[in-house]
Structure 1
Amino acid sequence: MSTNEKGAKILIIDDEPQIRKLLKVTLQAHRYDIAEAGDGEAGVMQASISHPDLIVLDLGLPEMSGMDVLRRIREWSSVPIIVLTAKDREEDKIAALDGGADDYVTKPFGMGELVARIRVALRHVAKSANEPILRFGELVIDLAQRNVELGGEKVKLTPTEYDLLKILASNAGKVITQRQLLQQVWGGHASETEQHYLRVYIGHLRKKLEEDTTRPRFIATEPGIGYRFLTQE
């Protein structure tokens, strides 16, 4: 997989020709190489043949749904997938993220926002190749030493706080659902009690990392869905 942002290959899977044309013209203007498919079956085939660096996937596909396409591709590939959805329900976004999507953009969407999400996803792939130290402005996370520094000062975290921070920061720019965090940190399902614990621990992390917890620089809440670690860009 090419992890160079410029020239990266993007596969567009959408059944609306005008949307595909808009995406193709805009993304080619940003120097991306574009492949496209107009239905789910063709999208899965293109994904296996063209080996894209990133996929933009419409959830509202006829016949094979976008969720089925997502599941099929995730059986053999970890390529970043940004879903486009006209469905604004939290449940649909959560299902897509839990199903393996890296991010979502709701239709109608701004091209500037989509291009920015694409850049973040591609850069995350480039940086995640065995990078033991994560840097976000003045926040430095040494994964090998389990050490966190903010402005040159060591931040004391509990093991649970560190595990939460590690998962969020290692997936910077991606939305991580509450269920994903609960499963990865506690190995449990998202009961109301455990969701409360998660909010409490996120609150503790913010107090230790944020200058103003009401305007977080690092950990943003995706209401009703989960959290996104901000990339400082």
Structure 2
Amino acid sequence: MSIHKTTILVAEDDPISRKLITKCLTMMEYNVIQSPDGRQAIDLFVDHHPDLVILDVMMPVMDGFATCAALRDVSTVPIIFLTALNQDAEKVHGLDLGADDYLTKPFTMSELQARVRAALRRALMVKPETATTVGDFTIDRAAHAIALRGQPLRLTPIEFRLLECLIAQRDHVLTHEHLLAHVCGEAYGQDIHLLHVAINRLRRKLADGSQSAYIQTMSGIGYIFRSHPN
């Protein structure tokens, strides 16, 4: 019986960076496949079905954002962005497209390894169980899907984890730090702006614009999910 070896797809146009990342991941005993652009990355994804994808944002032929959007149409595979664009707007755009994490260049190999381990660990936490219903919401963890009053919600992976966390700990105040650690990882404990953006997008998808609805703001602390909003 063959043992499954975790496969990671690395799409990075700079050959030196691609070689260093590949060496780093190979040392962790992952199987690594490489691509210099987004178009080839999609072809390799279809052929190899990797367990995780690492995308550079600035690539020729098809950039990382377009590649991420294309992958999200067909898969919930964990995606980590590599970007030299240290701007909140760019990071939020990537996360909104469905990326699970991002690393701003330059970064250390140990940081990359930690982010890879965390993304793979979160993916394994999705349990193959039947759908559960909580109030107006039905959560299907195996399908990575949530429905509101029977209507499927179109959620990015981060939005799914955020809403799942809020529902699971409904009627309890959750701090910004707790939500960020659960949804994005410990490294994001102070990146509250990204959490605010994700909450606002989630509220719009829930048609949840008032303080009396599902997600309520606890000023200066965090958020609370009301299972029975007023």
Q: Say whether the fold is shared (TM-score over 0.5).
A: yes
Letter in 1 for 2:61: E
Residue 94 (structure 2) pairs with residue 81 (structure 1): no
Tell me if the contact between 1:40 and 1:65 (Cα under 8 Å) persists in the aligned partners. Answer: yes
* Residue matched to 2:185: 173
* Residue matched to 1:23: 21
Q: TM-score, normalised by structure 2?
A: 0.64
Tell me if the contact between 1:94 and 1:177 (Cα under 8 Å) persists in the aligned partners. Answer: no
* Residue matched to 2:127: 129
Highest relative contact order (Cα 8 Å, sep 6+), 1 or 2? 1
CA RMSD between the two structures: 3.5
State which of 183, 192, 204 in structure 1 corresponds to 2:201. 183
Tell me if the contact between 1:97 and 1:177 (Cα under 8 Å) persists in the aligned partners. Answer: no
Report the CA distance shift for 1:168/1:89 in structure 2 as closer, same or farther (over 3 A): closer
Tell me if the contact between 1:124 and 1:172 (Cα under 8 Å) persists in the aligned partners. Answer: no
State which of 36, 39, 50 in structure 2 corresponds to 1:38. 36
Q: 1:123, CA displacement in angstroms?
A: 0.7
Letter in 1 for 2:183: N
Tell me if the contact between 1:14 and 1:57 (Cα under 8 Å) persists in the aligned partners. Answer: yes
Q: 1:158, CA displacement in angstroms?
A: 2.9
Report the CA distance shift for 1:129/1:172 in structure 2 as closer, same or farther (over 3 A): farther
State which of 167, 171, 185 in structure 2 corresponds to 1:158. 171
Where do 5+ consecutive residues of structure 1 fail to align?
133-142, 149-156, 191-196, 207-233
Where do 5+ consecutive residues of structure 2 fail to align?
133-163, 189-193, 210-215, 225-230
* Residue matched to 1:12: 10
Tell me if the contact between 2:9 and 2:50 (Cα under 8 Å) persists in the aligned partners. Answer: yes
Tell me if the contact between 1:128 and 1:170 (Cα under 8 Å) persists in the aligned partners. Answer: no
Letter in 2 for 1:158: D
Tell me if the contact between 2:100 and 2:184 (Cα under 8 Å) persists in the aligned partners. Answer: no
* Residue matched to 1:58: 56
Report the CA distance shift for 1:189/1:112 in structure 2 as closer, same or farther (over 3 A): farther
* Paired residues, number: 174
Q: 1:171, CA displacement in angstroms?
A: 3.2
- Paired with 2:60 and 2:78, the residues of 1 have a C-alpha distance of 22
Residue 89 (structure 2) pairs with residue 91 (structure 1): yes
Letter in 1 for 2:118: V
- Paired with 1:198 and 1:94, the residues of 2 have a C-alpha distance of 20
- Paired with 2:76 and 2:31, the residues of 1 have a C-alpha distance of 19
Report the CA distance shift for 1:184/1:167 in structure 2 as closer, same or farther (over 3 A): farther
Deviations 1:100-127 (A, max 9, x none): 0000000111110110010011011111
Tell me if the contact between 1:86 and 1:106 (Cα under 8 Å) persists in the aligned partners. Answer: yes
